[in-house]
Amino acid sequence: MGKSSKAVPHSDTEPDKPAGRKTASAALKWVGGATAVLSLVFGVQQLIDVVSAHLQRSRQVKELLATSAMQEQARDYAAAWSSLEQASRLSDGGSKTRTVEESLAMDWLENASAPDQQKFSDITEKVTPVLDQAASSAQGQRKADVLAHLGWAAFLQSRDGAPGTSPDSYYRQALAVDPQNVFAHAMLGHWILWNDGPVSEAAAEFNQALAGGRHHDFVRELQLAALEDANNNEGNLELLRVLNAMRKNGEAADTTTRGAAWFIYSHHLEPVSMPLSARPAAQGERPPLLAALAPPEQLATFTWLFDGPNFNQSPVWQRDFYRGILEGEAGRHTEALQSLRSALSELSQADPDAASNEAGTRQAIQSEIAVQTASLAKP
Protein backbone atom coordinates (compact mmCIF):
# COMPACT_ATOMS: atom_id res chain seq x y z
CA MET A 1 0.00 0.00 0.00
CA GLY A 2 1.17 3.51 -0.60
CA LYS A 3 1.74 6.14 2.03
CA SER A 4 -1.34 7.75 3.65
CA SER A 5 -2.30 11.04 2.13
CA LYS A 6 -3.62 12.36 5.50
CA ALA A 7 -1.50 15.22 6.65
CA VAL A 8 -0.40 15.64 10.26
CA PRO A 9 -2.48 18.52 11.70
CA HIS A 10 -0.60 21.86 12.67
CA SER A 11 -1.15 23.15 16.28
CA ASP A 12 -1.86 26.96 16.83
CA THR A 13 -1.09 26.79 20.58
CA GLU A 14 2.11 28.56 21.85
CA PRO A 15 4.32 26.71 24.20
CA ASP A 16 3.54 27.35 27.97
CA LYS A 17 5.42 30.26 29.71
CA PRO A 18 7.77 29.34 32.48
CA ALA A 19 6.10 29.30 35.95
CA GLY A 20 8.63 31.78 37.45
CA ARG A 21 7.62 34.61 35.17
CA LYS A 22 3.98 34.25 36.14
CA THR A 23 4.84 34.41 39.83
CA ALA A 24 6.99 37.56 39.42
CA SER A 25 4.24 39.36 37.52
CA ALA A 26 1.67 38.56 40.19
CA ALA A 27 4.07 39.72 42.89
CA LEU A 28 4.67 43.02 41.15
CA LYS A 29 0.94 43.61 40.87
CA TRP A 30 0.51 42.85 44.56
CA VAL A 31 3.34 45.18 45.52
CA GLY A 32 1.85 47.97 43.37
CA GLY A 33 -1.54 47.49 44.95
CA ALA A 34 -0.09 47.40 48.46
CA THR A 35 1.92 50.55 47.76
CA ALA A 36 -1.20 52.33 46.58
CA VAL A 37 -3.07 51.24 49.71
CA LEU A 38 -0.22 52.33 51.96
CA SER A 39 0.03 55.66 50.17
CA LEU A 40 -3.68 56.18 50.70
CA VAL A 41 -3.36 55.24 54.36
CA PHE A 42 -0.43 57.60 54.84
CA GLY A 43 -2.30 60.34 53.00
CA VAL A 44 -5.36 59.85 55.15
CA GLN A 45 -3.20 59.88 58.27
CA GLN A 46 -1.54 63.11 57.17
CA LEU A 47 -4.95 64.62 56.53
CA ILE A 48 -6.09 63.50 59.97
CA ASP A 49 -2.96 65.04 61.50
CA VAL A 50 -3.55 68.32 59.67
CA VAL A 51 -7.21 68.44 60.65
CA SER A 52 -6.37 67.45 64.23
CA ALA A 53 -3.71 70.17 64.47
CA HIS A 54 -6.15 72.72 63.02
CA LEU A 55 -8.84 71.73 65.50
CA GLN A 56 -6.31 71.88 68.33
CA ARG A 57 -5.22 75.39 67.29
CA SER A 58 -8.86 76.43 66.96
CA ARG A 59 -9.55 75.20 70.50
CA GLN A 60 -6.50 77.05 71.79
CA VAL A 61 -7.52 80.23 69.99
CA LYS A 62 -11.05 79.96 71.39
CA GLU A 63 -9.68 79.47 74.91
CA LEU A 64 -7.30 82.41 74.54
CA LEU A 65 -10.10 84.65 73.27
CA ALA A 66 -12.26 83.67 76.24
CA THR A 67 -9.36 84.30 78.63
CA SER A 68 -8.68 87.68 77.04
CA ALA A 69 -12.35 88.66 77.39
CA MET A 70 -12.30 87.86 81.11
CA GLN A 71 -9.06 89.78 81.58
CA GLU A 72 -10.49 92.74 79.70
CA GLN A 73 -13.62 92.67 81.87
CA ALA A 74 -11.34 92.75 84.93
CA ARG A 75 -9.52 95.70 83.30
CA ASP A 76 -6.25 93.76 83.22
CA TYR A 77 -5.59 95.11 79.75
CA ALA A 78 -1.93 94.15 79.53
CA ALA A 79 -2.74 90.50 80.25
CA ALA A 80 -5.68 90.58 77.82
CA TRP A 81 -3.42 91.98 75.12
CA SER A 82 -0.84 89.24 75.73
CA SER A 83 -3.53 86.55 75.40
CA LEU A 84 -4.69 88.06 72.12
CA GLU A 85 -1.16 88.19 70.76
CA GLN A 86 -0.88 84.44 71.37
CA ALA A 87 -4.25 83.86 69.72
CA SER A 88 -3.19 85.96 66.74
CA ARG A 89 -0.02 83.90 66.24
CA LEU A 90 -1.96 80.63 66.40
CA SER A 91 -4.62 81.84 63.98
CA ASP A 92 -2.13 83.48 61.59
CA GLY A 93 -3.82 86.83 62.18
CA GLY A 94 -7.34 85.58 61.44
CA SER A 95 -10.07 88.15 60.89
CA LYS A 96 -11.94 87.27 64.07
CA THR A 97 -8.83 87.68 66.19
CA ARG A 98 -7.99 90.98 64.46
CA THR A 99 -11.46 92.38 65.16
CA VAL A 100 -11.24 91.43 68.84
CA GLU A 101 -7.75 92.91 69.02
CA GLU A 102 -8.97 96.21 67.55
CA SER A 103 -11.83 96.40 70.06
CA LEU A 104 -9.50 95.69 72.95
CA ALA A 105 -7.11 98.38 71.71
CA MET A 106 -9.91 100.96 71.79
CA ASP A 107 -11.17 99.84 75.19
CA TRP A 108 -7.66 100.00 76.64
CA LEU A 109 -7.19 103.54 75.35
CA GLU A 110 -10.54 104.63 76.81
CA ASN A 111 -9.46 103.44 80.24
CA ALA A 112 -5.75 104.19 80.00
CA SER A 113 -3.86 105.28 83.09
CA ALA A 114 -0.20 105.88 83.81
CA PRO A 115 0.74 105.03 87.40
CA ASP A 116 4.13 105.93 88.84
CA GLN A 117 7.10 105.07 86.63
CA GLN A 118 4.83 104.34 83.66
CA LYS A 119 3.92 106.33 80.59
CA PHE A 120 0.88 106.46 78.35
CA SER A 121 3.20 105.62 75.47
CA ASP A 122 3.70 102.18 77.05
CA ILE A 123 0.11 101.55 75.96
CA THR A 124 -0.10 103.58 72.76
CA GLU A 125 2.98 101.96 71.24
CA LYS A 126 1.32 98.57 71.56
CA VAL A 127 -2.11 99.43 70.21
CA THR A 128 -1.46 102.12 67.59
CA PRO A 129 -0.07 99.72 64.91
CA VAL A 130 -3.21 97.58 65.21
CA LEU A 131 -5.48 100.62 64.87
CA ASP A 132 -3.43 102.05 61.99
CA GLN A 133 -3.96 98.82 60.06
CA ALA A 134 -7.66 98.79 60.95
CA ALA A 135 -8.12 102.38 59.79
CA SER A 136 -6.84 101.46 56.35
CA SER A 137 -9.35 98.64 55.86
CA ALA A 138 -12.41 99.46 57.98
CA GLN A 139 -15.46 101.23 56.63
CA GLY A 140 -18.18 103.53 57.93
CA GLN A 141 -18.81 103.75 61.65
CA ARG A 142 -16.06 101.26 62.49
CA LYS A 143 -13.49 103.30 60.57
CA ALA A 144 -14.62 106.48 62.36
CA ASP A 145 -14.39 104.75 65.75
CA VAL A 146 -10.83 103.67 64.97
CA LEU A 147 -9.79 107.13 63.75
CA ALA A 148 -11.22 108.77 66.86
CA HIS A 149 -9.25 106.38 69.08
CA LEU A 150 -6.08 107.11 67.12
CA GLY A 151 -6.73 110.73 68.04
CA TRP A 152 -7.14 109.74 71.67
CA ALA A 153 -3.87 107.82 71.48
CA ALA A 154 -2.20 110.99 70.12
CA PHE A 155 -3.66 112.95 73.05
CA LEU A 156 -2.31 110.44 75.56
CA GLN A 157 1.12 110.53 73.92
CA SER A 158 1.09 114.31 74.23
CA ARG A 159 0.59 113.86 77.97
CA ASP A 160 4.03 112.21 77.96
CA GLY A 161 5.44 115.25 76.19
CA ALA A 162 5.88 113.37 72.92
CA PRO A 163 5.39 115.37 69.69
CA GLY A 164 2.92 114.07 67.16
CA THR A 165 -0.19 114.73 65.13
CA SER A 166 -2.74 116.98 66.80
CA PRO A 167 -5.58 114.81 68.16
CA ASP A 168 -8.33 116.97 66.69
CA SER A 169 -7.15 116.18 63.15
CA TYR A 170 -8.07 112.54 63.76
CA TYR A 171 -11.40 113.53 65.32
CA ARG A 172 -12.30 115.62 62.29
CA GLN A 173 -11.28 112.81 59.92
CA ALA A 174 -13.59 110.53 61.88
CA LEU A 175 -16.47 112.99 61.59
CA ALA A 176 -15.88 113.27 57.85
CA VAL A 177 -16.46 109.50 57.64
CA ASP A 178 -19.31 109.37 60.18
CA PRO A 179 -20.76 112.80 61.07
CA GLN A 180 -22.64 111.36 64.07
CA ASN A 181 -19.72 109.42 65.55
CA VAL A 182 -20.04 109.51 69.33
CA PHE A 183 -16.35 108.98 70.07
CA ALA A 184 -15.21 111.74 67.75
CA HIS A 185 -17.74 114.25 69.12
CA ALA A 186 -16.99 113.41 72.77
CA MET A 187 -13.22 113.43 72.33
CA LEU A 188 -13.36 116.68 70.37
CA GLY A 189 -15.43 118.23 73.18
CA HIS A 190 -12.77 117.11 75.65
CA TRP A 191 -10.00 118.55 73.44
CA ILE A 192 -11.76 121.94 73.28
CA LEU A 193 -11.96 122.17 77.08
CA TRP A 194 -8.41 120.84 77.49
CA ASN A 195 -7.22 123.82 75.45
CA ASP A 196 -9.42 126.32 77.34
CA GLY A 197 -11.73 126.70 74.38
CA PRO A 198 -15.33 127.93 74.53
CA VAL A 199 -17.43 125.88 76.93
CA SER A 200 -20.44 126.32 74.65
CA GLU A 201 -18.60 124.65 71.74
CA ALA A 202 -17.53 121.75 73.93
CA ALA A 203 -21.09 121.40 75.27
CA ALA A 204 -22.41 121.16 71.71
CA GLU A 205 -19.97 118.35 70.91
CA PHE A 206 -20.88 116.39 74.04
CA ASN A 207 -24.59 116.85 73.36
CA GLN A 208 -24.07 115.47 69.85
CA ALA A 209 -22.24 112.48 71.30
CA LEU A 210 -24.97 111.78 73.87
CA ALA A 211 -27.65 112.07 71.19
CA GLY A 212 -25.95 109.25 69.29
CA GLY A 213 -27.03 106.78 71.97
CA ARG A 214 -23.88 104.61 71.85
CA HIS A 215 -21.38 104.31 74.70
CA HIS A 216 -23.38 106.70 76.88
CA ASP A 217 -21.41 105.97 80.07
CA PHE A 218 -18.05 106.65 78.41
CA VAL A 219 -19.28 109.92 76.91
CA ARG A 220 -20.72 111.09 80.22
CA GLU A 221 -17.58 110.20 82.16
CA LEU A 222 -15.41 112.06 79.67
CA GLN A 223 -17.73 115.07 79.80
CA LEU A 224 -17.67 115.23 83.60
CA ALA A 225 -13.89 114.80 83.74
CA ALA A 226 -13.36 117.54 81.15
CA LEU A 227 -15.61 120.01 82.98
CA GLU A 228 -14.08 119.23 86.37
CA ASP A 229 -10.59 119.74 84.93
CA ALA A 230 -11.61 122.99 83.24
CA ASN A 231 -11.94 124.67 86.63
CA ASN A 232 -13.34 127.96 85.36
CA ASN A 233 -16.58 129.74 86.12
CA GLU A 234 -18.40 128.90 82.89
CA GLY A 235 -17.22 125.30 83.09
CA ASN A 236 -18.50 125.07 86.66
CA LEU A 237 -21.93 126.33 85.68
CA GLU A 238 -22.06 123.92 82.74
CA LEU A 239 -21.20 121.11 85.15
CA LEU A 240 -24.29 121.99 87.19
CA ARG A 241 -26.40 121.96 84.03
CA VAL A 242 -25.03 118.52 83.15
CA LEU A 243 -25.76 117.25 86.67
CA ASN A 244 -29.30 118.55 86.39
CA ALA A 245 -29.73 116.58 83.16
CA MET A 246 -28.28 113.48 84.83
CA ARG A 247 -30.76 113.80 87.70
CA LYS A 248 -33.67 113.99 85.30
CA ASN A 249 -32.35 111.03 83.29
CA GLY A 250 -32.00 108.85 86.38
CA GLU A 251 -28.20 108.68 86.18
CA ALA A 252 -25.87 108.53 89.18
CA ALA A 253 -23.14 110.95 90.26
CA ASP A 254 -20.05 109.49 91.89
CA THR A 255 -18.20 110.85 94.92
CA THR A 256 -15.68 112.80 92.83
CA THR A 257 -18.40 114.58 90.90
CA ARG A 258 -20.37 115.36 94.05
CA GLY A 259 -17.22 116.84 95.55
CA ALA A 260 -16.71 119.04 92.50
CA ALA A 261 -20.33 120.24 92.74
CA TRP A 262 -19.95 120.97 96.46
CA PHE A 263 -16.94 123.15 95.71
CA ILE A 264 -18.99 125.12 93.17
CA TYR A 265 -21.83 125.78 95.62
CA SER A 266 -19.48 126.68 98.45
CA HIS A 267 -17.55 129.03 96.16
CA HIS A 268 -20.67 130.87 95.01
CA LEU A 269 -22.77 130.70 98.17
CA GLU A 270 -20.17 131.05 100.92
CA PRO A 271 -21.66 133.04 103.81
CA VAL A 272 -20.67 136.69 103.89
CA SER A 273 -21.76 139.47 106.13
CA MET A 274 -24.21 140.62 103.43
CA PRO A 275 -26.87 138.23 102.10
CA LEU A 276 -26.32 137.01 98.55
CA SER A 277 -29.59 138.53 97.39
CA ALA A 278 -28.36 141.96 98.51
CA ARG A 279 -24.88 141.73 97.01
CA PRO A 280 -24.18 144.47 94.50
CA ALA A 281 -24.28 143.02 91.00
CA ALA A 282 -24.40 144.43 87.51
CA GLN A 283 -27.89 145.82 86.99
CA GLY A 284 -29.19 143.86 89.95
CA GLU A 285 -28.74 140.42 88.34
CA ARG A 286 -28.58 137.38 90.59
CA PRO A 287 -25.24 135.63 91.02
CA PRO A 288 -24.35 133.46 88.02
CA LEU A 289 -24.86 130.20 89.87
CA LEU A 290 -28.43 131.08 90.76
CA ALA A 291 -29.11 131.91 87.12
CA ALA A 292 -27.52 128.72 85.76
CA LEU A 293 -30.74 126.73 86.25
CA ALA A 294 -34.38 127.47 86.87
CA PRO A 295 -34.72 127.84 90.67
CA PRO A 296 -36.89 124.71 91.20
CA GLU A 297 -34.45 122.60 89.16
CA GLN A 298 -31.45 124.07 90.98
CA LEU A 299 -33.01 123.10 94.29
CA ALA A 300 -33.95 119.62 93.08
CA THR A 301 -30.42 118.99 91.82
CA PHE A 302 -28.85 120.24 95.05
CA THR A 303 -31.11 117.94 97.04
CA TRP A 304 -30.32 115.00 94.73
CA LEU A 305 -26.60 115.57 95.18
CA PHE A 306 -26.35 116.18 98.91
CA ASP A 307 -29.32 114.71 100.76
CA GLY A 308 -28.05 111.13 100.56
CA PRO A 309 -26.98 109.07 103.59
CA ASN A 310 -23.31 109.29 102.62
CA PHE A 311 -23.11 113.06 102.97
CA ASN A 312 -20.25 114.25 105.18
CA GLN A 313 -21.93 115.42 108.36
CA SER A 314 -19.27 117.98 109.27
CA PRO A 315 -20.61 120.68 106.90
CA VAL A 316 -24.30 120.04 107.65
CA TRP A 317 -24.84 123.68 108.65
CA GLN A 318 -23.41 124.74 105.28
CA ARG A 319 -25.69 122.37 103.41
CA ASP A 320 -28.72 123.81 105.20
CA PHE A 321 -27.51 127.35 104.57
CA TYR A 322 -27.06 126.73 100.84
CA ARG A 323 -30.38 124.92 100.68
CA GLY A 324 -32.09 127.87 102.40
CA ILE A 325 -30.80 130.25 99.74
CA LEU A 326 -31.95 127.97 96.93
CA GLU A 327 -35.35 127.45 98.53
CA GLY A 328 -35.75 131.21 98.78
CA GLU A 329 -34.86 131.60 95.10
CA ALA A 330 -37.51 129.00 94.30
CA GLY A 331 -40.11 131.01 96.22
CA ARG A 332 -40.33 128.48 99.05
CA HIS A 333 -39.75 131.02 101.81
CA THR A 334 -41.19 128.98 104.69
CA GLU A 335 -38.86 126.05 103.92
CA ALA A 336 -36.01 128.53 103.45
CA LEU A 337 -36.54 129.92 106.95
CA GLN A 338 -36.54 126.41 108.42
CA SER A 339 -33.30 125.51 106.64
CA LEU A 340 -31.57 128.77 107.63
CA ARG A 341 -32.59 128.45 111.27
CA SER A 342 -31.30 124.87 111.26
CA ALA A 343 -28.02 126.14 109.86
CA LEU A 344 -27.80 128.73 112.64
CA SER A 345 -28.43 126.07 115.26
CA GLU A 346 -25.93 123.62 113.76
CA LEU A 347 -23.24 126.29 113.51
CA SER A 348 -22.81 126.22 117.28
CA GLN A 349 -21.83 122.56 117.00
CA ALA A 350 -19.34 123.17 114.21
CA ASP A 351 -15.62 122.41 114.37
CA PRO A 352 -13.99 124.66 117.03
CA ASP A 353 -11.25 125.45 114.49
CA ALA A 354 -13.85 127.55 112.64
CA ALA A 355 -14.72 129.59 115.74
CA SER A 356 -12.80 132.64 114.52
CA ASN A 357 -15.15 132.90 111.57
CA GLU A 358 -18.29 132.05 113.47
CA ALA A 359 -19.38 135.60 114.23
CA GLY A 360 -19.32 136.72 110.61
CA THR A 361 -20.97 133.49 109.49
CA ARG A 362 -23.71 133.84 112.09
CA GLN A 363 -24.33 137.39 110.92
CA ALA A 364 -24.60 136.19 107.30
CA ILE A 365 -27.15 133.54 108.22
CA GLN A 366 -29.17 136.03 110.27
CA SER A 367 -29.15 138.45 107.35
CA GLU A 368 -30.53 135.76 105.05
CA ILE A 369 -33.18 134.91 107.64
CA ALA A 370 -34.23 138.56 107.64
CA VAL A 371 -34.48 138.58 103.83
CA GLN A 372 -36.62 135.44 103.78
CA THR A 373 -38.82 136.73 106.60
CA ALA A 374 -39.43 139.92 104.65
CA SER A 375 -40.22 137.95 101.49
CA LEU A 376 -42.67 135.79 103.40
CA ALA A 377 -44.42 138.87 104.77
CA LYS A 378 -45.06 140.31 101.32
CA PRO A 379 -48.67 139.97 100.15
pTM here is: 0.79
Average pLDDT value over all residues in the chain = 83
pLDDT category of residue 209 using cuts at 50, 70 and 90: very high
**Phi-psi region at 335: left, alpha or beta (left = phi > 0; alpha = psi -120 to 50):** alpha
Helix axes 121-137, 77-90, angle to 10 degrees: 40
Is residue 267 very low, low, confident or very high in pLDDT (cuts 50, 70, 90)?
confident
Q: Please tell me the least confidently modeled range out of 124-133, 310-319, 344-353.
A: 344-353
CB atoms within 10 A of CB 358: 13
Average of per-residue pLDDT across 77-99: 83
Question: Is residue 28 very low, low, confident or very high in pLDDT (cuts 50, 70, 90)?
Answer: low
How do the domains of the chain map onto residue ranges? 59-111, 269-379
- Compute the distance between CA of residue 197 and CA of residue 127 in angstroms, rounded to an integer: 29
Q: Provide mean pLDDT across the span 267-281.
A: 59
Can you tell me the distance from the alpha carbon of 251 to that of 249, in angstroms, rounded to the nearest whole number? 6
Predicted local confidence at residue 6, as pLDDT: 42
pLDDT at 8: 41
Comparison of pLDDT for 274 and 352, the residue scoring more: 352
Give the pLDDT confidence of 131-185 residue by residue, as tens digits.
999 999 999 999 999 999 999 999 999 999 888 889 999 999 999 999 999 999 9
Q: With 70 as the cut, is the pLDDT of residue 370 above it?
A: yes
